[in-house]
Amino acid sequence: MIPTLFRLVKVASAFKWWMVLASILGFLTIGSSIGLVMTATYIVAKAALHPSIAELQMSIVGVRFFGIMRGVLRYFERVISHDVTFRLLTHFRTWFYKSIEPLKPAEMMKFRSGDLFTRLLNDVQNLENVYLRIIAPPLVAVMISISTFILYGLFSWYAAFVLIIGLLFAGIGIPLLSAKLRKGLGEKLVLLRSEMNIVAIDGIQGLADLLVFNQADDHFSHLKAISKQYVNIQRKNMLIESLLGALSVLTLNLTIVGTLLILIPRVSSGALDAVYFSVLVLGVIAVFEAVLPIPEAIQNLEKSLKSADRLFEVIALQKQEKQPPAYNFLREKFDIRVEGLSFCYDKNQGMVLDDIDLDLSMGRKVAIVGPSGSGKSTIVNLLLDFWPYDQGKIYYDNKELTEYNRDLILTKLSVLPQNIYLFSTTLRDNLLLTRPTTQDSVLNDMVNKIGLGLKINNLPDGLESWVGEMGYRFSGGERQQIALARTFLKDAPILILDEPTANLDPITEMEILQVIRTLSERKTLLMITHRLTGLTDMDEIVVLVEGRIIERGSHRKLMAKKGYYYQMLQIQEDVFIG
């Protein structure tokens, strides 16, 4: 817990002087409240003795001063402390995003989308308490406690020690009891909220499947059960908070009683003016204002530190990334070579790729075919530096992939991923994702080439039509065509297409393959597919089975060999004819 707190404070150190200023203002604000109570009490007590107005003049000025200053200081303290809080939230969000942005997608896949959403939104939001309810209250309480201890010591050191004991119990004892009673509750609240978000997002994204298979009620019951656990823990938390509040009030009253017992004999003996007796007793109430927020600070501490741990857990992955690459230049035309590449997702499992060699010289057309699960898409992820590899080499322009900045590599590649994602915005915005400066004439020409022109023309808003969440307003084939269009619009020297004709009917498939041939004429093309249509023009076809290359060569050579590729093609044709 302590190391996490120090790391959190270190992240927030950019605003340390703002936090110091806000803490000083908080100290002065509570100090003004104490001054107001004590001077007002002094006036009332002194007035009972019917003194001249001159004797009360100083106290009257003091009441006016402390009354005005309390309001003014409270205003500026709130403005600055909340400004610091919002600055910290902004800083935490940008710090977290900048920390995860360079991570390989492979690392991010370790987390479910609902969990990442919770970390980015709720866990960062929990850190708003770091200054306002965790750092500031103890600082202010310490400054007030020291100041009032010295002040009460001027009248009675015994009373000062009674006061400091009460403050220590309220500021340390009760918070420690709070930490013991609430142990684990803050962590459970954070984890249950994350689980609720995960289940809720899964339910929304998979609603159609849940309805089709009549599992919507069971899924809702699961969400309801998690919500019930969350509410029960919150209820327990509130009961503990009520108990601690009662203990704080009891501590205050006992401190007042202790102060009375100390001061009454001094007043009786004449060692203390009776006027100051009431001032010191009622002053205790004002002083306790400084320590009452500390139990709440302990409550927020566990929750905030657990949220911080979850953020640091993601950020820790960044340290596993290699040092910034030395080369930041890559020619427009270059070769790609893969030599002896082997890869596994988990060291406890078997190899996904085993001793893969590929030659993607500039302008070369290569297809990788094979059954599902043979490792075809894994090769794409490794070429994009989305997964780290330990065995083998990937060369871009005779330098190893890991020596380049990944962003530089991606500027030279135009990639169609297997899993297409369309953003919930307009069709135009989705198409312009890869090349925002594309002119409308080029955009319309590409839309027509990939066979979406008629569909878009029939839409009420044309290219300004909203695609919906993940593009669900369009069919699977239409989403594939949209993704193909934005891939081609990038106009990079190397095309990597992973299952480019998936979800397409045979006629549209042949049209798209012709577009691919035309647009890749002067480019390097790597096509990943399990459908063996349109591969006759490929320079090389690589047959991948269970992560190993079992055949390679041109379409003609592989057909003459009558091996695995030949059998796959025969089966595919039989199925199609059937």
- Residue 42: count of CB within 10 angstroms of its CB: 21
Residues 131 and 262 in one domain: yes
Which amino acid, residue 461? D
Summarised one tens digit per residue, pLDDT across range 287-337 is: 998 888 887 777 777 777 777 777 777 777 665 555 555 666 778 888 999
pLDDT at 201: 78
Note whether 311 and 345 are same-domain residues.
Answer: no
Give the mean model confidence (pLDDT) for residues 28-46.
88
The token pair at 249 is 């009030």
Q: Is residue 329 domain-resident?
A: no
Q: pLDDT value at position 549?
A: 92
Q: Output the pLDDT for position 577.
A: 53
The confidence band for 83, taking pLDDT boundaries of 50, 70 and 90, is confident
DSSP code per residue over 71-124: HHHHHHHHHHHHHHHHHHHHHHHHHHHHHHTTS-HHHHTTS-HHHHHHIIIIIH
412 and 465: one domain?
A: yes
Domain end call among 318, 352, 368: 318
pLDDT computed for residue 526 by the predictor: 94
Residues whose CB is less than 8 angstroms from the CB of residue 15 and which lie 6 or more positions away in sequence, other chains included: 84, 87, 88, 91, 131
- pLDDT of 37 over the 70 cut: yes
Please tell me whether residue 531 adopts helix, strand or coil conformation.
coil
Out of 318, 344, 374, pick the residue that ends a domain.
318
Does residue 327 lie in a domain region?
A: no
User: What pLDDT is recorded for position 310?
Assistant: 76
Cβ–Cβ under 8 Å, residues 409 and 397? no
CATH of the domain at 365: 3.40.50.300
Same domain, 195 and 286: yes
| 289 and 403 together in one domain | no
Asked whether the beta carbons of 259 and 162 are under 8 A apart, the reply is yes
Quick one: pLDDT at residue 194? 79
Q: How far apart are CA 552 and CA 193, in angstroms?
A: 51
Q: Is 330 domain-assigned?
A: no
In whole angstroms, give the CA distance from residue 172 to residue 537.
78
Residue 93: its pLDDT value, please?
Answer: 79
131-159 per-position pLDDT tens digit: 666 777 888 889 999 999 999 899 889 99
Looking at residues 423-451, what average pLDDT do you find? 85
Q: What is the pLDDT of residue 575?
A: 60
Q: 66 lies in a domain?
A: yes
Confidence label for 394 from pLDDT (cuts 50, 70 and 90): very high
Please say if the pLDDT value at position 366 is more than 90: yes
Q: Averaged over 436-443, what is the pLDDT?
A: 84
Q: What is the mean pLDDT of residues 158-183?
A: 87
Q: Is the pLDDT of residue 40 over 60?
A: yes
Do 412 and 275 fall into the same domain? Answer: no
Determine, yes or no, domain membership for 435: yes
Within a domain: residue 328?
Answer: no
pLDDT tens by residue, 525-563? 999 988 888 888 899 999 999 889 999 999 999 999 988
Is there a domain that residue 325 lies in?
Answer: no
* CATH number of the domain within which 208 lies: 1.20.1560.10
Q: Do 341 and 291 share a structural domain?
A: no
- Do 304 and 348 have their domain in common? no
Q: Which residues, at least 6 apart from 201, have a Cβ–Cβ distance to it below 8 Å?
A: 113, 114, 117
Q: What is the mean pLDDT of residues 191-200?
A: 82
Entry pTM: 0.67
Q: What is the mean pLDDT of the chain?
A: 83
pLDDT in tens, 105-138: 666 666 666 666 677 667 777 777 676 667 778 8
Are both 421 and 288 inside the same structural domain? no
**Where a domain ends, among 318, 346, 373?**
318
Asked whether residue 183 falls in the same domain as residue 245, the answer is yes
Evaluate whether residue 324 is within a structural domain. no
Q: What is the pLDDT of residue 324?
A: 53
- How does residue 345 score in pLDDT terms, banded at 50, 70 and 90? confident
Same-domain status, 224 and 112: yes
Kindly state the tokens that stand for 273: 């003016």
State which residues form the domain around 464.
336-577
Q: What angle do CA 298, 287, 295 make, to 5 degrees?
A: 10
Say what the pLDDT of residue 338 is.
Answer: 92
Tokens 């592989």 belong to residue: 558
Q: pLDDT band for 206, please (50, 70, 90 cuts).
A: confident
- CB burial class (10 A; 0-12, 13-18, 19+) of residue 274? middle
For residue 547, give the amino acid letter. Answer: G
More confident residue, 59 or 324: 59
Q: Is the pLDDT of residue 423 over 70?
A: yes
At residue 504, the 3 state secondary structure works out as: coil
Backbone angles phi, psi at 310, to 5 degrees: -65, -35
Residue with tokens 């806000």: 22
Query: For residues 93 and 144, what is the distance between their CA atoms, to the nearest angstrom?
Result: 33
Closest CA to 194 of 284, 317, 306, 296: 306
Cα 196 to Cα 228: distance, rounded to the nearest angstrom: 11
Count of domains forming the chain = 2
Same domain, 90 and 188: yes
For the segment 504-517, the average pLDDT, to the nearest whole number, is: 84
